[in-house]
Amino acid sequence: MFNFDTHKIKIFTDGANLDSIIKLAKDDFIDGITTNPTLMRRSGVTNYMTFANSAVKASQGKSISLEVFSDNLDIMIDQARILSGLGKSVYVKIPITNSQGEPTSSVIKQLLNENIKVNITAVLSYSQIDECIRNLQGNSFAYISIFAGRIADTGLNPSLFIDYAINKLKDKHLNNVELIWASTREVYNIYEAAKVGCNIITAPPEIIKKIKLYNYDLNKLSLETVQMFKSDSDSAGYSIN
């Protein structure tokens, strides 16, 4: 759990580069790992199960979320059972709908009945948050991944969505359900997520690296920025005549 003076939040790494997962999972300030098929493809993963097995091993027993992708709801359940069987710390990512827009409520309920931990993913709207809450019970171990960056892309403030979800979880006493600020775009989102009381933020490694700049001296940062300009203009041999 990371403590920014007054606000606490768990930091997960979001990606599919195995070396990075191995390195970050060893860090105390990383509490878990998330990935998705797009990140896996982008990282050059060709065999889903080989990657999934290696990622679970690399995760050091920390929470790891792996995603199903079938459009058939029964096959989605089968995929979830297989992924969940890879380790106790596996949360199975179930998209809020399949790619045809069919709700996955029945899948989520079935998996929770089997005590499979789920991470309901690609949640963007208030009605989808309501749907997640409806599908969860007091004893459900689950995450809800709200895609804050994609919400922000539409001109809306993602913190309002997280705040809405936090209140709904409290009202229904869903004490084992944690909210994830997902689709993180910049390091400032970590402070926004912590401030609104989100439990977890998942961020790509290049954003996590910038946490070291927290409370950094701005005059020093300005000087380093100007030194970067100077070094690059020197290296490029620029002249202004």
Q: Which two tokens stand for residue 172?
A: 């229904």
**In the complex, minimum distance from the CB of residue 74 to ligand G3P, in angstroms, rounded to a whole number:** 26
201 DSSP β-pair partners: 11, 181
Which residues touch 101 (CB under 8 Å, ≥6 apart)?
none
Is the Cβ of residue 63 or residue 110 nearer to ligand G3P in the bound state? 63
**In the complex, minimum distance from the CB of residue 53 to ligand G3P, in angstroms, rounded to a whole number:** 21
Tell me how long the chain is: 241
Which residues touch 64 (CB under 8 Å, ≥6 apart)?
32, 33, 34, 35, 55, 56, 87, 89, 90, 91
**In the complex, minimum distance from the CB of residue 238 to ligand G3P, in angstroms, rounded to a whole number:** 35
Is the Cβ of residue 84 or residue 202 nearer to ligand G3P in the bound state? 202
Is the Cβ of residue 110 or residue 202 nearer to ligand G3P in the bound state? 202
Is the Cβ of residue 36 or residue 135 nearer to ligand G3P in the bound state? 36
The Cα angle at residue 161 between residues 160 and 167, in degrees rounded to 5? 90
Number of H helices, E strands in the chain: 11, 9
Binding footprint of ligand G3P on the chain (CB under 6 A) = 14, 34, 36, 39, 147, 149-150, 182-183, 202
Question: Distance (Å, rounded) from C-alpha 181 to C-alpha 130?
Answer: 17
**In the complex, minimum distance from the CB of residue 6 to ligand G3P, in angstroms, rounded to a whole number:** 25
**In the complex, minimum distance from the CB of residue 142 to ligand G3P, in angstroms, rounded to a whole number:** 16
Strand blocks (E) in 163-229:
177-182, 200-203
**In the complex, minimum distance from the CB of residue 225 to ligand G3P, in angstroms, rounded to a whole number:** 26
Q: Which two tokens stand for residue 4?
A: 């920014």
Is the Cβ of residue 65 or residue 79 nearer to ligand G3P in the bound state? 65
Is the Cβ of residue 107 or residue 200 nearer to ligand G3P in the bound state? 200
